Structure 1
Amino acid sequence: MWTFWETWRQAVRRWREDERFRESKRVRVAIWVSLALAMYWLLLGSVLPPRYHFKVGQTSPVTIVAPTTAVDTAATEQARAAAVKRVPKQYVQSQAVEIEALNQVDQLFTTAEQVVTDKTMSRTQRLDSLLAVAPRKLDVATLKLLLTVKPSQLAMLQNVCDRIVHTLLDVPFNESLMEEASLLVDRQLLNYSLDRVSQNIVQNVVLSVLRPNMIYQAEATRAAQEQAARSVPPILIHEGQVIVERNGVITPRVLQQLQDVGLLSSNRPNYAMSAGFALYILLSVGLLAAYVEQRSARRRLDNLMLVVLGLVLVMMSVLISVTKTIINDGGPSSIAYLVPVSLGPMLITVLMDASVAVVVAFYLSLLYGAALDFGYWFTVLGFVGSLVGAYSVAKVTHRGTFMRAGFFVSGMNALVILAMNLLQHNSEIDVHAVSLEFGLGLLNGIASAVLTMGILPFLESAFGLLTAIHLLELSNPNHPLLRKLLLEAPGTYHHSLIVGNLAEAAAELVGADPLLCRVGAYYHDVGKTKRPMFFVENQMTKENPHDKIAPSLSHLIITSHVSDGLRMLEEAGLPKPIREICATHHGTTILWYFYNKAREMDKTGTVKVDDFRYPGPKPKTRECAIVMICDAVEAAVRSMSRPTPNRVEGVIRKIIRDRLEDGQLDECDLTLQDLDAMVGAFMKTLKGIYHARIEYPDLDKIRKEVGR
């Protein structure tokens, strides 16, 4: 099991340190694309309105408000139906009804006059003739009365009937008037002086031919109804309007309103919002990628750090998404104030730098506000807290820095929440709600600090990252390697401490990482613990082992401390930047002492100077180059018999000049101006270490002189 774990650990380390992986452009593009897809998939549900699976009769676990303004279809249809009902039916007056009625009257009386004057016809035949032409509604009794009227009187009755029919049907005569026809005819008869029999005949004949002359127009009626429906403005469900309160019953009307605003699972997906959010993610990730890729080579993030950046962003997206899911499922909306948005920028500041963290804080805050119904104040809250958190951990000196940063974030959250409530339009402030928001805002900052401290070690371990906290832990003198160095090679240990002080002072002036330089210097010579007595600083006597062996073997022993140190550092699991400092602290410099010794002993002249070089490689970073120079400076100054300031400065400048001429600094980005500034830092530090001391008198001699 242990063998498997060790094999796995070595495989992961090789993957992390594989230059092809860390510098591959294809991998880089894949990381950015994967990040965009992951954030889109995680946050799309937070940005889109929630979908509910309600049925009539259920209770709502949350208060649901309309996410947008939409038409209330049920209320609008109801209002339009009421408007349609108010539209009267459309009729048109028909002259044909009057003409037909007059024709029936004229035909009846003409036939009656003919049969009355025809003496050859029997009474039954006369009645049958009238029945053949009489209107269907005219009764037989009236026809019999009509046969008793004289021909001269029939013409008068016909004229009266025609006039009454014309009077009634020359104007609109509808169904309601038809119901009052008998009364209307009686009123018309008052205009004529007729006996009772004549009145009865006229009334019955007119009533038998009367019918409504208003013809129903179906198309016109439908057009009028449609116009009335169109004239009714749509009734709207306004954005922010409460559709159903928490624990409210889902009625058919509520269900329809949820359908109208697109909050039911049966609604068609909102492709426009999905496409808009995809465009936003594309723009935000694209701009972040442009910023990262445009950074200087020294500050550029390789693929491994890009993976870490992506993981932090994905982690924050998960937090935002989970928070929105809790709110949608009926959780308290105030939980939004507890989302530790500043966690991401704080982690990125510690793992990378504050400039990347500021850009990330901007995008995370926008996503935070968008997920919470595009709330402006949530965006402000997230951005301000993230900025404060990022800048508060820009220089970590101990783990207490994180808690201090957490308190700063809490304070800023409280100020933002106070400003938010004071800027509300309504004058009344809900003290309970504000107190809850304050409390959650304060807890937010503490949670961000605690989570940062908790997550940081996992990222450091998983990706072999070197943070300020990790460096501080490595600088502990109780670390096994430093303890071993102190006990087995005390001279080297103290030499490493001085080199660390020199390197830290120089790094602060030239923009390198001072802490990395100091800690790297502590470990750069751990390989000397393999054979400590072969190094002059550990020799307690005047006996030098190199006097008894060949120069070539001395060269091999001296140079092997680099490879021995690398192996020890790798077995101890120290990060790559520390190992790089160890590997390059001598570069490919020449061991001149042993080369000269070999040349003096060589009788054939076959000794080559390159045979006495360190294997390298040369420093590629500022930190590696600084430790290389500091190592040489400390050794040279310590070996000086009279280290006056002028002589020390001369030695320092000579060492730097020799490294430049030998090409040891060709692969790093230190400038001549940086090197000149480093000289001043070295002089200031060395003055405090190798300062002049007064010569104290011999105490025993003084005691003898005074007789004590």
Structure 2
Amino acid sequence: MRWTGWGSAIRRWLDDDAFRQSRRVRAIIYAGLGVLLFAILASSMMPPRYHFTVGEVSPTTVVAPVTAVDTAATAAKRKAAEAKVPKQYAQSPQVLTDALNQLATLFHAASAAVENRSLAAPEKLVALRRVAPQGLSSSTLALMLAESPARLAALERDSAKVVQAILSQPFYADSMQQSMLLVDRQIVNLNLGLDRDEAMIVQNTAVSVLRPNMVYQAQATQEAREQAAESVQPVLIHQGDVIVAKNQVVTSEVISKLKDVGLYSAYPSLRVGVGFAVFIALSIAMLAAYVERRAPRRRLDNLMLGILGLVFVLMAILIAVTKWIVAAGGPASTPYLLPISLGAMLITVMMDSSLAVVSAFFFSFLLGAAFGMNYDFVFYGFVGSLVGAYSVSRVTSRATFMRAGFIVSAVNIGTVIALYLLAVSREGDFHSLSLHVGLAALNGVFAAILTMGILPFFESAFGLLTPIRLLELSNPNHPLLRKVLLEAPGTYHHSLIVGNLAEAAAELVGADPLLCRVGAYYHDVGKTKRPMFFVENQMTKENPHDKVAPSLSHLIITSHVSDGLEMLRKAGIPKPIQDICATHHGTTILWYFYHKAKEQDKNGTVRVDDFRYPGPKPKTRECAIIMICDAVEAAVRSMSRPTPNRVEGVIRKIIRDRLQDGQLDECDLTLQDLDAMVGAFMKTLKGIYHARIEYPDIDKLKKEVAK
């Protein structure tokens, strides 16, 4: 009982105009929606962050959220390419020139020493040592001093030939270890015809002046290695690749890959967080601008705005769950199964399709943003939502949802194929295409099933009046309608005709025809409290009002409005139908009982306002239509000869009286709408009160035949 009391109190608070029209509540709803969307989707928009250490066991499977360059692998590959590039050298002719000059200087000094008779042998050796190349042995110098100047000149030429033969070719530093062998080979090749001492002089002097003629080019070597490194294609970490599996040991390579894809950090990305906050703020601002600039008749009150926010929150939760599945190692194609059209379907059924189309933009953008600003998902989500919204724009039964689901599935398949054909990089990936097509086919059916399952919760929790709920309320077996049929059959018949009139009028003036029909069925349920006090239920000529005072009759008649409201509240009938019941007489005057009271009044104290209905006046088109239809049906039914001209005159008089009495001041029906309604009433009433053939008395005919 306590929960029931709380539920009734909350329902009354939600139905209160002070709540529904409060601008402060409206601002809170917009702000709260923005905060909730940010809180739900922030983790989806920002990639998860990990702070592993080398040797730690990973508690989860980490998958690359984006395609990125593997810096460590790429660096290793480039380093290997650089190592394959040899050092760059350039052959220097100056080395040969220097070597020949050294030989000339050496042999010239030897000749001068040999010719100088004034010097002793040791002194000659010392003088020759001063100009001799480093590494030339003293024994070789002594052999040179033992030769004649002419022979030294010949040996100089032989040594120069050997040096020139060697240094005219590339001669590297590594070749210095084999210089003796190279010189011996050249002596043999040149066939110089030397004896043992002469060969040693040529060999040792040539070896002493040999130097590498290949000079290392540091800059050229660096440029060649850089060019080789740049030619290496980078190693990629593809989106969806497993960086580290659950229970796998974390290595330095794993940490490097986490850094490359932006997943290694102890703190979330502040830049991405601020960007997403601005994204949400702009989205809510644009949504608010659209909602607040809608026509007054289509403007959402705070309750409906709150329900719109709940649908946004629901879709945000579905997107966040889908992103969590993908981030946890699930299939990367999971978003194709996300029932993104669910939100548009719910908004269309509970509100209208134009608002659903605008909402579809936001749902698809949120989906694309959650998966790396992927345009494929934006387009896929928007097309599916758009088709879903228009597929349920006219709901006649629950089968409408399944039909809409199949239509969404078919369009989703077409969208997936179109995106596949547009993406050149996916050519030949038929496995992914078939998987995406299968998920897209399930998507629409899944969305339709969820719509049918979720819609009753919104209807019962917030008292929403959806087309499905209206169709259920129009069932003649509803307890209240059966009560009217059994206890007040005249009222039941009256309500059916009012429903026909109201539906025809609503279709012409842009009101809700189904709401008008169902509202007409319930507008007079309060008459079941005292059915015999209403003329349509009186089967005899005896009228109970003849036995009571006019003031009491007024109280009995007007109480059927409050009695009906009480019955509708207890039965859980939604507020729009309650409003129709409360306003179907507005503040009109019971003229019959006013005149009766005035005739009986001897003191002149009767006031016309004492015989008015308590109201309120109609505030919506549907309420105003039911008010006019109720009066039209009662007036036409009471006519003795309902000819078309007389009926039209009565209808126009009723409308004129309601206008003059100010009963239509608070609704947005125009004079053009009222004139169009007259034509709709005439067509409907011709089918109900048409002229009938007067059949002869059957018994009288039988007697005449017998005679």
Cross-structure match for 1:9: 7
The answer (yes or no) to whether the contact 1:165–1:210 under 8 Å persists in 2 is: no
Matches within 5 A, 1:52-201: 67-68=66-67, 70=69, 74-75=73-74, 77-79=76-78, 81-83=80-82, 85-89=84-88, 105=106, 117=118, 137-139=135-137, 141-142=139-140, 149=146, 174-182=172-180, 187=186, 196-197=196-197, 199-201=199-201
* Alignment CA distance shift 1:21-1:140 (3 Å): same
Deviation at 1:498, TM superposition (A): 2.1
Cross-structure match for 2:226: 229
The C-alpha deviation readout for 1:256-315, integer Å capped at 9, x for no partner, is 995686275569978888777767666655544443333211112223222222322332
Aligned length: 698
Cross-structure match for 1:566: 565
The answer (yes or no) to whether the contact 2:420–2:433 under 8 Å persists in 1 is: yes
Cross-structure match for 1:506: 505
Q: Give the SS at the match of 2:397.
A: coil
Matches within 5 A, 1:370-519: 382-413=381-412, 440-519=439-518
Deviation at 1:340, TM superposition (A): 3.0
Cross-structure match for 1:308: 307
Deviation at 1:650, TM superposition (A): 1.6
The C-alpha deviation readout for 1:674-693, integer Å capped at 9, x for no partner, is 11111122222223333333
The C-alpha deviation readout for 1:653-691, integer Å capped at 9, x for no partner, is 111111100111011111111111111222222233333
* Alignment CA distance shift 1:65-1:494 (3 Å): same
Cross-structure match for 1:19: 17
Q: Structure 1 vs Structure 2: percent identity of aligned residues? A: 58
Q: 1:587 and 2:583 equivalent? A: no
Q: 1:628 and 2:627 equivalent? A: yes
Distance 1:542 1:34 in 2: 63
Q: What amino acid is aligned across from residue 11 of structure 1 in structure 2?
A: A
Distance 1:611 1:302 in 2: 34
Deviation at 1:130, TM superposition (A): 8.7
* Alignment CA distance shift 1:301-1:210 (3 Å): same
Deviation at 1:413, TM superposition (A): 4.6
Deviation at 1:546, TM superposition (A): 3.1
Deviation at 1:250, TM superposition (A): 12
The answer (yes or no) to whether the contact 1:56–1:255 under 8 Å persists in 2 is: no
Cross-structure match for 1:646: 645
* Alignment CA distance shift 1:366-1:197 (3 Å): same
Matches within 5 A, 1:537-548: 537-548=536-547
The answer (yes or no) to whether the contact 1:72–1:234 under 8 Å persists in 2 is: no
* Alignment CA distance shift 1:415-1:168 (3 Å): closer
The answer (yes or no) to whether the contact 2:70–2:237 under 8 Å persists in 1 is: no
Q: Give the SS at the match of 2:4.
A: helix
Q: 1:693 and 2:702 equivalent? A: no
Q: What amino acid is aligned across from residue 577 of structure 1 in structure 2?
A: P
Cα RMSD over matched residues? 5.0
Moved more, 658-667 or 535-544: 535-544
The answer (yes or no) to whether the contact 1:47–1:372 under 8 Å persists in 2 is: yes
Q: Give the SS at the match of 1:301.
A: coil
* Alignment CA distance shift 1:118-1:700 (3 Å): closer
Moved more, 583-592 or 46-55: 46-55
Q: What amino acid is aligned across from residue 555 of structure 2 in structure 1?
A: L
Moved more, 77-86 or 95-104: 95-104
Distance 1:45 1:497 in 2: 55
Q: 1:614 and 2:613 equivalent? A: yes
Q: Give the SS at the match of 1:12.
A: helix
The C-alpha deviation readout for 1:376-411, integer Å capped at 9, x for no partner, is 776665555444433332222222322333344344
The answer (yes or no) to whether the contact 1:98–1:213 under 8 Å persists in 2 is: no
Distance 2:127 2:224 in 1: 53
Q: Give the SS at the match of 1:460.
A: helix
* Alignment CA distance shift 1:695-1:270 (3 Å): same
* Alignment CA distance shift 1:391-1:18 (3 Å): same
Distance 1:439 1:151 in 2: 104
* Alignment CA distance shift 1:481-1:79 (3 Å): same
Distance 1:136 1:115 in 2: 24
Moved more, 78-87 or 290-299: 78-87
* Alignment CA distance shift 1:266-1:91 (3 Å): farther
Cross-structure match for 1:596: 595
* Alignment CA distance shift 1:591-1:162 (3 Å): same
Q: Give the SS at the match of 1:397.
A: coil
TM-score normalised to the size of structure 1? Answer: 0.80
Q: Give the SS at the match of 1:482.
A: helix
The answer (yes or no) to whether the contact 1:15–1:21 under 8 Å persists in 2 is: yes
The answer (yes or no) to whether the contact 1:105–1:161 under 8 Å persists in 2 is: no
Deviation at 1:238, TM superposition (A): 7.3
Cross-structure match for 1:341: 340
Distance 2:377 2:263 in 1: 26
Distance 1:510 1:396 in 2: 20
Distance 1:418 1:630 in 2: 53
The answer (yes or no) to whether the contact 1:74–1:253 under 8 Å persists in 2 is: no
Deviation at 1:254, TM superposition (A): 9.1
Distance 1:306 1:127 in 2: 114
Q: What amino acid is aligned across from residue 657 of structure 1 in structure 2?
A: R
Please list every run of 5 or more consecutive structure 2 residues that lacks an aligned counterpart in the other structure.
Answer: none
Distance 2:637 2:389 in 1: 42
Q: Give the SS at the match of 1:688.
A: helix
* Alignment CA distance shift 1:111-1:278 (3 Å): farther
Deviation at 1:241, TM superposition (A): 9.2
